[in-house]
């Protein structure tokens, strides 16, 4: 074969396999930054070259453009069907911010217990999940219900959320853990919450305990919280921890327990999300 023929073969090979690295990247990362118009225009050009090759009986042109057309079509399909969303932890230590109430501390369970004892009802977290607080708390008792967490010593002896201590201890070996509570909503809780953390999470230093209002100020990679409103100003990734008041919310990442949190952070089940449904409008737990 002539030098010109070899040049043509090499050129056809290069333009054909050029899409292979792109396909590999599409499989791993998706094609968010890849342009549909470019892909379809490129495909149109390839198909025209294919027709031209058939017309002039140029076998190399036909095979090269036929294969290129297939690779472009694969790229379009992969772009239209991106891989499942994964939480990119990389190799570095993550900064993980963790809410307190309903994430590591069962404040709502104690809240319901005090309310039931006060008014003689028998509300349960499961009942709240099914019907919502708005349907269960009479209007004339809502002020009393809301005032319960403001009572002295309320947060001193709340129960641990199952698995929270073990999970945070495990995560603290490879990542930086910060406790971030919207404690400004109940300022009287500061001392009790701090003492509670010292008792149950002694491996988290005081310098990594943050009592705040707006969690948008938190500079972390991940925020684990039962209140999705805290994700709005947060620049990292939010994981919604399931609680009775948020079961109907849709979440990019939802954890029903601490095993789910660990699996999400490890990328085992990154797509764990809440179902599409309406959100309950009434939230009467000011201790969130």
Ordered by start, the domain boundaries in the chain are 3-80, 95-266
Catalytic residue annotation: 99, 101
User: What is the per-residue DSSP string for 65-97?
Assistant: HHHHHHHHHHHHHHHHSPPPP-----SSPPEEE
Is the pLDDT at 87 greater than 80? The verdict is: no
Out of 100-109, 175-184, 271-280, least confident range:
271-280
* Total residue length of the chain: 288
User: What is the per-residue DSSP string for 215-267?
Assistant: GGG---SEEEES-GGGGSS-SSEEEEEP-TTTTTS--SSEESSHHHHHHHHHT
Answer whether 192's CB lies under 8 Å from 153's CB.
yes
In this structure, what are the phi and psi dihedrals at residue 181, rounded to the nearest 5 degrees? -110, 135
pLDDT tens digits for 40-58? 998 899 899 889 889 998 8
Answer whether 271's CB lies under 8 Å from 85's CB.
yes
Is the pLDDT at 195 greater than 90? The verdict is: yes
Say which CATH class 95-266 falls into: alpha beta
User: 122 is written with which tokens?
Assistant: 């028998």
CB atoms near residue 8 (< 10 Å) = 16
Stated as kind and residue range, the H or E segment containing 165 is: helix 164-172
pLDDT tens digits for 242-282? 999 999 898 889 999 999 999 998 875 544 433 222 222 22
**How far is residue 146 from each of residues 119, 138, 201, 282, measured CA to CA in Å?**
13, 12, 28, 12
Is the pLDDT at 98 greater than 80? The verdict is: yes
For residue 218, give the nearest of 201, 202, 231, 205 by alpha carbon: 231
Q: Residues 144-151: what's their mean pLDDT?
A: 89
Handedness of CA 135, 136, 141, 147 (dihedral sign): negative
* pLDDT band at residue 1 under the 50/70/90 scheme: low
Q: What is the CATH number of domain 3-80?
A: 1.20.1280.290
DSSP structure class, residue 176: E
pLDDT at 281: 26
């Amino acid at each position: 074969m002539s030098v010109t023929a070899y040049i043509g073969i090499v050129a056809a090979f290069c333009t054909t396999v050029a899409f292979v690295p792109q396909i590999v990247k599409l499989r791993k990362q998706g094609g968010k930054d890849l342009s549909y118009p470019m892909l379809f225009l490129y495909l149109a050009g390839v198909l025209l070259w294919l027709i031209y090759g058939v017309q002039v009986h140029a076998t190399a042109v036909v095979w090269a453009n036929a294969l290129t057309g297939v690779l472009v079509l694969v790229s379009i399909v992969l772009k239209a069907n991106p891989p499942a969303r994964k939480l990119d932890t990389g190799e570095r230590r993550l900064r993980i911010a963790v809410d307190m109430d309903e994430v590591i501390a069962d404040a709502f369970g104690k809240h319901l217990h005090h309310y039931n004892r006060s008014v003689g009802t028998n509300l349960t977290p499961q009942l709240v999940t099914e019907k919502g607080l708005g349907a269960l708390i009479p209007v004339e008792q809502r002020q009393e219900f809301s005032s319960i967490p403001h009572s002295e010593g309320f947060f001193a002896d709340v129960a641990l959320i199952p698995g929270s201590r073990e999970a945070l201890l495990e995560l603290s070996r490879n990542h930086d853990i910060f406790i971030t509570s919207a404690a400004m909503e109940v300022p009287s809780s500061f001392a009790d919450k701090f003492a509670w953390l010292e008792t149950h999470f002694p491996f988290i230093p005081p310098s990594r305990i943050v009592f705040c209002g707006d969690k948008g100020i938190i500079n972390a990679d991940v925020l684990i919280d039962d209140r999705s409103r805290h994700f709005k100003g947060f620049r990292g990734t939010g994981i919604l921890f399931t609680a009775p008041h948020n079961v109907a919310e849709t979440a990019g990442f939802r954890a029903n327990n601490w095993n789910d949190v660990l699996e999400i952070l490890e990328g085992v089940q990154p797509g764990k999300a809440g179902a599409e449904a309406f959100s309950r409008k009434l939230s009467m737990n000011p201790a969130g």
